[in-house]
Structure 1
Amino acid sequence: MEFWTYYRVLRKHYRTVLIATAVALVVGTVVAWPRDLDYVASVTLTASPPDANRYLLVLVSDRVQASPGADTARIIALIQSRTVAERVIQRLGLKVTPTDLWTRLRITGGTQAQPLLTLAVRDRDPAAAVRLANTYADVTVAYNQEINRRETDVTRQFIQDQLQDTRGRLAEAENALDGFKQAHGIVSMPTQLNAEVTVYLNMVGEQRAAVQAQREISARITDVRRRIGQFSPTNTERQVTENPIAQKLRGDLINLEVQLAAARIAYTDQHPAVVDLTRRIKILREVLSTEIEKIISAEFVRVNPVYETLVRSLVTLETQLVAVQARQAALASVIPEEQKKLPQLTETEREFTRLTRTVQVLEASYTSLESRFNDFRVQEQMALDHNPVTIVDIATSAQPASPSRTVVRVLVAGMLGLFGGIGLVVFQTQIDNTVKTAEDAERLLGTPVLTSVVKHNPPFDEAYQVLKTALGLHGSNGSRAAIMFTGTRVGAGTSTVVYHLARAIARSGKRVVVVDADLRRPTAHRLFGVTVDAGLVDALTGAVPVEAALQPTTVENVRVLPAGQSSLLPLVDLFGPPAMAGLLDELRRHADVMLIDSPPPVPFAESRALAALVDGVVLVLAAGQAPRGVEVETKRELERVHARVLGVVVNKVAPENDDSYYLYGNYHTPVLPSVPSSPPTGGLPTAARGWLLAAGLGVGGAAMLETNLMVALGVGGMAVLLETRHVIDALMAVLGWRF
């Protein structure tokens, strides 16, 4: 269908569209509108980067809302952890699950434009919303400190155990050395021997320190591996991308095509360079043909930020472990060589050297452990004091939740109802095969339409002026025509068409005789207000002269030959050629135009007999009826008796389906006072429609400033929808169009 066809359909069925939209709005409001108003309380947090010498361990689930940065993502994962949710539920005594609690949270920020994190909590009680938001922030900060303290406690305990063990072994070694000196009266070792022994002992001390460092690193690696096992390492998503090989081959092919074009400018096709480039392009196209349709379906992995931190720490520790093991291997190969350089010692000197070496090694180990322990205590205190999660602003009050999302849902429902109503109307129109317009009648019968008569009260007389002109009955020609009007079905409005056409012809000064040949359902006498004492039957049987049977009417230049009394003869015999032909010849002496009203040719045979005697036949087809084959059958029966079918009059056309009705309304014709100058169209005046349209667009623009584009479109659309059947009229009036 064309645009104007859709427009006429929507204009006709605008109530259906309005009802569908209203129903959708009501249903959307009932479904989407909250039963109880929610309140929102917000807490602002900041995430500072953690210390580079420590790593963060968080026991969280896989719920990660965003990854604006490693530190911010870790804090978001911490806020959304199951442990934090369970502690909040326990502290406040809530009867909800962590999953229910997560649905009431919203975390925003954490980007370069908005570095601070905003934790918003919804609740139906404003005081409960404030309490829940602050509790969630406090628990998050406390849990983060607990995690940091848990890690530092593990490391500190390990160093303390090593320090205590070394202190005990050092005390035992010193006691053994002092006892050996007292027993053998030894004061000190010779200077040269002492230097050689010192070098040897330093290496042995380094070896022992390396062993101790290996144990420490191995312990930390074991702890990290245990904690890594508690996490889901990745968040996997399917990502379908184009084959990168095909992309590269396309680029190579373009480059070769460019080179070949340049080579052909300088050389012939037989030149080696051109031949080589052609061969390479052919090979590349064959390879590309196998690769171009390949699509790579890859796993897009989003790494858990906490898991990623632990993995980096594990890699660092394993690197340190490899370095310590390499140091041990180097010392293990050098110490035996240094041991051979020592002079031959007596048993007493050897034992003294061994005890002294043990004391020195343990003293060095103890000093190193003590220094590391002191440094760690300082770093531990700094780490605990520098919490990466800090509360910037606490929640002091809760604000009512904005209903914009609910409004948007309601408006979306309204728009869906609007489009659904339009779709329903269009669907009904597509499956509706009733004759509605002159074009439909022409497609059905293959006969030109003389005019279409609109359902209007008072009647739309201009249509009968068009019919008079189409039949050639205007002007002062000398022909005396006898035209028969018959309907395709009973009730098509044939008598009404004859009545108004007679009035239209009579205004031009021509004498008109209306013959009521519908003896089964005579109507002309009622329309013209005459009696039925004598009429057509009487004139055909010879009971009354034709002149006596003709009755004048209140319409100037119009006389009527009513049906008359009933006849005992069959009607088809009554309308036989001798009698009816003689009657028509007699009537031509009394009138310029004869309009004969007859019943439908299907199934009445008298109409067929009469059609063969008149100058032409006009079919009257009522709009709004589905074709059942009788229309085509009527035309076929008339052609069978060699009747001359002049055309079709489409009667009872809906005003919205007749373009001429609206075209006529844009002009003023004062010549004929009885013809209305502008048929009423109903609805609002054009100026009012323009104001209404402007108001709708204004409301939509204001809504756009307050909410969003969807709300603006919805509000503006609803305002315009209240007068939807006049919107296009208003636009056309503003633009100065006429249609």
Structure 2
Amino acid sequence: MRGGTAEKDLHLLDYWRVLLKRRWVVYTSLAVVISTVTLGSLLTRPVYTATARLQIEQNMPNVLPFQQVMGTLPDYRNDFYQTQYGLIQSRRVAGEVIGTLGLAQMEEFRLNGGDTPAAQARRVDLFLKRLAVTPVRSSRLVDISFPSHDPALAARIANRVAEAYLAFNSEVQYNTSARATTSLTHQIATLQEEIDTKEKELQTYAREQGIIPLGDKQNITLKNLNDLSDAYTRARAARIEREARYAALKDSSPLDLAEILDSKLIQDLTAKSAELSRQIAQLSEKYKPDWPEMVRVRRQLEENESRLSAERRGIYDQVLGVAENAFKAARNQEADLKRALDDQKRQSQDASLKEIQYNNLRAGAANKRSTLEALVKRQSETSSSASLNDLASSNVRIVDVAEVPTRPSAPRVGLNILLGIMTGLGLGVGLAFFFEYLDKSVKSAEEMHQATGVAAIGVIPALRPGGAGLRMIKGNGRETAPAPAVELISHLDPKSKVSEAFREVRTALLVSQPGGPPRSILIASTQPGEGKTAVALNLAITLAQIGRRVVLVDADLRKPRLHRLLGVTNDQGLSSHLSGSGAAWPEPLRTLVPGLDVVPSGPLPPNPADLLDSPRFDQLLREFEEQGYDHVLCDSPPILAVADPAIMAGRVAAVLLVVHAGVTSKDALAHAVARLQQVNGRIVGAVLNQLDHDQQGYYYGYRYRRYYGEEETPKEPPAPRREPERDRTLHV
């Protein structure tokens, strides 16, 4: 029947029910992800991003007056701006920025390996990885951004990258324009003579004022200042090292000093002390402590130990004195260099005043040189006018310099939390559906019907609150009665939602067969603990409540419970009758429910299956029907555990399955149904027991604890009464 069952079409409401059922998985996932993201964001060191904005124009070089005649031909290449972006992110620009700003000495760019080529290459790679070039859409603007933990450093780097690229672009433009040869020879020669005159004046003034230029930017005064600064730094480091050495010796023990441990005299004296100690130990075995020889050797040991201590102290004092003298010498040298450095600084300041005139002369020479360069450039442009269409240049200028950022760009706590919420929800939903996929238990009547083809004739909700014996306080301060046990709830608390569910099962059972309600009914379950005994007892109670005469037979001859629940004796019962060891007729016992009798299981037999498979069991069912019982309900062991239910299934008019919602697996239920069908058991339906509406997200209409009206205290069960014995001899 399972193969012929149509698959259920999934609906959005089914997914919602899964999420309601697994909502704690979603809540837990959401809480874990949000907590992790929030904690990580708050503990992450903030990063500041500074941005400089450039404008890059694609223009032809404006170099000659006759260019107006030739005109400017446009460049139709589409890779111009991509090339400029690549130049901004070139290794040359990165290396220049790293060098000019001294980034190699900063914490963020300090790498193992010092200034080796490999370390420099890795440093450039790290720099370029963090440098971002972002074009502004629909414009000729481009943003240069750089992140750093130091906001001021981020702004300096972004501005320096823009300046380095601007200088590189100008240099490329100039080098391109300088390809042509010279044609203005006379003007260039005249200008060269003027430059020579300026240079001579510059040199004469430098000689008179004692200015000795070193390269283009330094003179002898600055060189001496740098040398003294380096010497002072080294002296200060040496003083710190010797001071640390001296302090360590003062705080250390003479016994731990390396010079003492390496001394030959100390080693000899230590060996001698060991030898004298050994002699004392040997003599003490033969003589008393006051023996002359013992006294002499002990005196020698004391003298040797005294000398050893004195020698150690002497070496320690000597080493300490040397360290102290070295420390004082280093301190004096540091002070001398400090004074010399201060003097050199004053001289450097005086030299700067003299360099003003020197710089003016040099500026005049530079102006002449610039004019010369302009003439050379004009000559070059004139001679290369034919190739202007093949040359391209760009005008670049800084629109906005990078400002020191005041707010961190990362981590973005709000955005991270929002993404964490989305991630947590996604993960939680995924885990909820994953756990639902792994859950093979029967959770609804539709799933049970799909798995076995057996329809559900009722659903029993889980009993709440927390079980029997739980005391509850009402609003008026009075204690409510303890919640009744579920096995007798239809009698003790008939207005509960569980009792109403059992009455619906009763109604469905009475109309389950076209020829009339079944008289002999077997209550069975797949596995232990699914509530078949509670269902059997409550179903019998509800049948008796409508005036039916019902006998409940405890056919679970392995673990019977009905006699304990109903408070009857179990000395004689079904097993006694079937085995022939008791009375010929198992006299039913009256119970606390009017119209309901019970036949206990009796003593546990060694062969329950054989007893239930005997003709006596069939005759017993017929006799109960002949005695006027409207219904005979049989409680049984689990189907998959023993063969007893399969034996009884073929002898009764109907079989009612009890399925524990959320516990019974679909495969086990299908196997149990198949076993009953093999013996031609007439399965009238199944009861979905202990369904938790909140957990399963399934609605069956049992949402109210009671009907409208006054609350009633559950009835106390009266003592069971035995029906007067009658002659019910059963002939076999």
Q: Aligned to 2:129, which of 96, 100, 103?
A: 103
Aligned counterpart, 2:426 = 419
CA distance 1:551–1:505, change in 2 (3 Å):
same
1:129, CA displacement in angstroms? 2.0
Match of 2:409 in 1: 402
Name the structure 2 match of 1:158: 182
- How far apart, in 1, do the equivalents of 2:612 and 2:517 lie? 27
1:46 corresponding residue in structure 2: 55
Unaligned runs of 5+ residues in structure 2 are: 1-9, 65-75, 110-122, 192-371, 383-392, 466-485, 487-497, 715-732
**CA, structure 1 residues 130+675, in 2 after alignment: closer, same or farther (shift >3 Å)?**
farther
Name the SS of the counterpart of 2:548 in structure 1: coil
- The answer to whether the 8 A contact 2:89-2:133 is kept is no
Shift of 1:470: 1.4
Residue number in structure 1 paired with 2:147 = 122
1:45 Cα deviation after fit: 3.4
For 1:11, what is the secondary structure of its paired residue?
helix
Q: For 1:92 and 1:551, locate their aligned partners in 2 and report how far apart those are by CA, in whole Å.
A: 102
Aligned to 1:560, which of 587, 594, 598? 598
Question: Is the contact made by 1:159 and 1:373 (CA closer than 8 Å) also made in structure 2?
Answer: no
Distance 2:92 2:609 in 1: 101
Amino acid at match of 1:13: R
2:182 aligned counterpart, secondary structure: helix
* In 2, Cα distance between equivalents of 1:672 and 1:488: 39
Work out which of the residue numbers 464, 469, 475 in structure 1 matches 2:502.
Answer: 464
Instruction: Give 1:650 shift.
Output: 3.3
Unaligned stretches of 5+ in structure 1?
56-66, 168-369, 381-385, 677-739
Whole-angstrom distance in 2 between the partners of 1:150 and 1:574: 111
Identical columns (%)? 29
Q: Residue 612 of structure 2 contacts residue 648 of structure 2 at CA under 8 Å; is this kept in 1? A: no
Report the secondary structure of 1:43's partner residue: strand
Partner of 1:527: 565
Larger RCO: Structure 1 or Structure 2 (Cα < 8 Å, ≥ 6 residues apart)? 2
Letter in 2 for 1:615: A
TM-score by structure 1 length? 0.51
Distance 2:709 2:545 in 1: 12
1:30-179 alignment to 2 at 5 Å?
35-47=44-56, 50=59, 52-54=61-63, 76-95=85-104, 96=109, 97-109=123-135, 112=138, 114-155=139-180, 158-161=182-185
Is the deviation greater in 500-509 or in 428-437?
A: 428-437
2-side partners of 1:582 and 1:111: how far apart? 93
Tell me how far apart the structure 2 counterparts of residues 164 and 12 of structure 1 sit (CA, whole Å): 93
What secondary structure, in the 3-state scheme, does the structure 1 residue paired with 2:568 have?
Answer: coil
Separation in 1 of the partners of 2:136 and 2:605? 101
Cα drift, residue 671 of structure 1? 8.0
Q: Which stretch shows the higher mean deviation, 43-52 or 6-15?
A: 43-52
What's the counterpart of residue 663 of structure 1?
A: 701
In the other structure, the counterpart of 2:720 is none
Mapped to 2, the partners of 1:77 and 1:484 lie a distance apart of 85
Q: How big is the shift at 1:524? A: 0.8
- What is residue 625 of structure 1 aligned with on the other side? 664
Deviation at 1:445, TM superposition (A): 3.4
Inter-partner Cα distance in structure 1 for 2:510 and 2:699: 22
**In the TM superposition, what are the counterparts of 1:81-480 in structure 2 within 5 Å?**
81-95=90-104, 96=109, 97-109=123-135, 112=138, 114-155=139-180, 158-161=182-185, 376=378, 388-403=395-410, 408=415, 411-412=418-419, 415-416=422-423, 418-457=425-464, 460-472=498-510
Q: Describe the SS at the equivalent of 1:664.
A: coil
Contact kept, 8 Å, 1:546 with 1:586, in 2: the verdict is: no
Partner secondary structure for residue 602 of structure 2: coil
CA distance in 2, matches of 1:447, 1:572: 29
Q: 2-side partners of 1:88 and 1:401: how far apart?
A: 23
Indicate the SS of the match to 1:400: coil
Q: CA-to-partner distance for each residue in 1:544-579, whole Å, 9 max, x for gaps?
A: 5869541322x3443322223456886634773346
Query: Are residues 147 and 560 of structure 1, via their aligned partners in 2, closer, same or farther at CA, if it must alter by over 3 Å?
Result: same
Change (3 A) 1:491 1:107: closer
Is the Cα contact below 8 Å between 2:184 and 2:379 reproduced in 1? no
- TM-superposed CA distance for 1:523, in Å, is 0.7
Distance in 1, Cα, partners of 2:160 & 2:424:
44
Equivalent-residue separation in structure 2 for 1:531 and 1:80 (angstroms)? 95
1:3-24 Cα deviation digits (max 9, x unpaired): 3333222222233334444555
Q: Are the equivalent residues in 2 in contact too, given 1:536–1:561 (CA < 8 A)?
A: yes
Structure 1 residue 26 displacement after superposition = 5.8
- CA distance in 1: counterparts of 2:102 and 2:169, whole angstroms: 22
When residues 647 and 635 of structure 1 are mapped into structure 2, their CA distance, relative to the original with a 3 A threshold, is farther
SS in 1 for 2:558: coil
After superposition, the Cα gap between the structure-2 partners of 1:551 and 1:44, relative to the gap in structure 1 and judged at 3 Å, is same
Distance 1:488 1:78 in 2: 77
* CA distance in 2: counterparts of 1:49 and 1:630, whole angstroms: 79
CA deviations on 1:120-141 (whole Å, 9 max, x unpaired) are: 3322112222322333333334
- CA contact 1:576–1:609 (8 Å) conserved in 2: no
Structure 1 residue 158, shift from structure 2 partner:
1.8
- Bigger mean CA deviation after superposition, 510-519 or 542-551: 542-551
Contact kept, 8 Å, 1:20 with 1:417, in 2: the verdict is yes
Change (3 A) 1:70 1:406: farther
Question: Residue 494 of structure 1 is aligned with which of 504, 519, 532?
Answer: 532
- Determine the C-alpha separation between the residues in 2 that align with 1:68 and 1:408: 41
**Could you tell me whether the CA contact under 8 Å between 2:133 and 2:145 is conserved in 1?**
yes
> 2:590 corresponds to which residue?
551
TM-score by length of 2: 0.51
1:439-492 CA deviation, whole Å, 9 max, x = no partner?
333344333332233333366333312210111179xx9978232212233333
| Secondary structure at the counterpart of residue 402 of structure 1 | coil
**1:49–1:519 distance in 2 versus 1, CA, 3 Å:** closer
Distance 1:393 1:159 in 2: 41
Does the residue aligned with 1:665 lie in a helix, a strand or coil?
coil
2:520 paired residue number: 482
* 1:671–1:512 Cα change, 3 Å: farther
Q: Is the 8 A contact 1:84 1:140 kept in 2?
A: yes
Distance in 2 of aligned mates of 1:582 and 1:53: 120
Give me the whole-angstrom Cα distance separating, in 1, the residues matched to 2:61 and 2:643: 109
- What do the CA deviations read for 1:374-394 (whole angstroms, capped 9, x no partner)? 9938999xxxxx993333443
How has the CA–CA distance of structure 1 residues 15 and 118 changed in structure 2, closer, same or farther, with 3 Å as cutoff? same
Distance 1:530-1:590 versus aligned 2 partners, 3 A rule: farther
One-letter identity of the residue aligned with 1:594: V
Q: 1:127 and 1:561, CA in 2 relative to 1: closer, same or farther beyond 3 A?
A: same
Q: Tell me, in whole angstroms, the C-alpha distance in 2 between the residues paired with 1:633 and 1:666.
A: 34
Task: Tell me the equivalent position of 2:18.
Answer: 9
Q: Distance in 1 between matches of 2:129 and 2:43?
A: 15
What SS does the corresponding residue of 1:596 show, helix, strand or coil?
strand
**1:439 to 1:76, Cα distance in 2 relative to 1, 3 A:** closer
Q: Equivalent residue for 1:262?
A: none
Structure 1 residues 53 and 503: CA distance shift in structure 2, 3 A: same
Deviations 1:696-723 (A, max 9, x none): xxxxxxxxxxxxxxxxxxxxxxxxxxxx
In the alignment, what sits opposite 1:614? 652
* Contact 2:177–2:381 (CA under 8 A) maintained in structure 1: no
